[in-house]
Amino acid sequence: MAETLTREQYLDLYYFMRLNRELEEQMARLFRQNKILGGLYSSLGQEAISVGTAFALGPGDWIAPMIRNIGALLVRGFKPRDILTQHMARYTSPTQGKDGTSHFADLKTRHVVAPTSMLGDLIPVMTGVAMAGRYLGQNIVTMTWIGDGGTSTGVFHEGLNLAAVQKAPFVLIVENNQWAYGTPVERQVPLRYLADRAKAYGIESAIVDGNDVVAVERTARQAVARARAGNGPVLIEAKTMRMRGHAQHDAADYVPPETLELWKQRDPLARHEKFLSENKFWDAKTKAEIDGRIAREIQVDVDFAENSPFPPPESANRGVYCEGCHAIEADWKRSKEEVMPPRSSVKPEWPAMHLKPAEAPSKAASKTMSATSANGVKQPSEKKIAEKTKPSKKTSRLRVPAKAGR
């Protein structure tokens, strides 16, 4: 695995981050014009995470993006018009105008599973996709994202435990952007590092500066390689800051202005531009060409979206993804022995309390040894307990009270 990317790949990272930002700025303008029919969730300041992590995957791998992962969709091949028409509920959108938010997918070509509003639920889903790929003989890796607040949901732990037990080729990106809606992370998680939660499941984890796209891509690439090699899932905590409110309607007045100013100085786009200049990967002309290309692409797709029709009424009873009733059959590529769950990484021991061999009582001693409580008081043996609890031969009779009035 190469430690560094090529010049073209470093420029691609800039292209996708800049495209991500300019597209969202355009969507914010459309939102103010009442042309966005659903919710709008900004990823301002977090573009490096979506772009860098998705960039580390192979074409056959699977992703399940969340509401702030437009950059990942762009890396996977979706165009600005797909995202624009989706949020504008036009008939040309991926869901044919039946959803006004980011809930769309492409299971055939781009290997994208649709987001779900139930936070954490995509973790067991993508664990299942990873397991299915292994059963079918596909050397794939799956990836999804979750916010810091989402790590407190029950399904986060259930899904991560399942992935760990199955050693699923799965990478989870925790976007620690400091806020779960209006709750700061220190008020909802008693941890300094969310990556420490991986320790409970015996899986690998990493912490990365989420505003450094080069570091994000490198860390994600290493995690993907580890998962693909059969070493189990990896959790990556990417530290960043949500620079806007939870959604477009949220002014985020609860965020201290000095905090926003501090993170503004760590803007991922500005940092990557500096990286490209210092390494002589571009000049002013190259930057102007990329920026001009992005402006043209977005304008063309905005015009396309605004001129696209809304869905016709007769399309209301038609499905979005299903192409008709059909039987789904597994195309097995491996033997039954290979598709069984992997053996536990913990060696089973006896007795159950995992005593060391020298500490385990002998068979003869266990017959005479009586239990001792934690405070040193000797407890009666099982034989004495049985004698005390043995029922008496005399049969007791219940005294029935007389009826009232007798």
Pairing type for strands 179-180 and 170-176 reads unpaired
Positive or negative, the CA dihedral 208, 112, 98, 30 is positive
> pLDDT value at position 102?
81
Question: Which whole-number Å values give the CA distances from 246 to 164, 177, 252, 258, in the listed order?
Answer: 31, 11, 7, 18
Q: What is the pLDDT of residue 252?
A: 82
Can you spell out the DSSP letters for 97-127? TS-SSS---BTTTT-BPPP-SSTTTHHHHHH
Phi, psi of 257 (to 5 degrees): -55, -35
Q: Provide the residue type at 95 as one letter.
A: T
Exposed/middle/buried for residue 377 (C-beta within 10 Å: 0-12, 13-18, 19+)? exposed
What CATH number should be reported for the domain whose range is 7-315?
3.40.50.970
Task: Measure the CA–CA gap between 298 and 83, rounded to whole angstroms.
Answer: 11
Q: Which residues pair with 172 in a beta bridge?
A: 144, 235
Q: Which residues contact 202 (CB under 8 A, 6 or more apart)?
A: 164, 345, 346
Torsion of CA 182, 186, 188, 192, to 10 degrees: 140
Query: What DSSP designation does 309 have?
Result: P
pLDDT at 358: 53
pLDDT in the model for residue 346: 61
H or E stretch at 16: helix 7-32
Residue with structure tokens 């990272």?
13
Q: How far apart are CA 158 and CA 121, in angstroms?
A: 9
What six digits make up the tokens of 39? 């919710």
Segments making up each domain of the chain, as ranges? 7-315
pTM > 0.85: yes or no? no
pLDDT for position 37: 87
* One-letter identity of residue 246: H
pLDDT tens by residue, 200-214: 999 999 999 999 999
Helix (H) or strand (E) holding 261: helix 257-264
- Six-digit token pair at 141? 């890796």
Residue stretches of the chain with pLDDT short of 50 = 359-361, 364-377, 379-380, 382, 385-386, 389, 391, 394-406
Q: For residues 273 and 271, give the distance between their C-alpha atoms in angstroms, rounded to a whole number.
A: 5
State how far the alpha carbon of 44 is from the alpha carbons of 17, 144, 263, 405, in Å. Answer: 10, 19, 11, 83
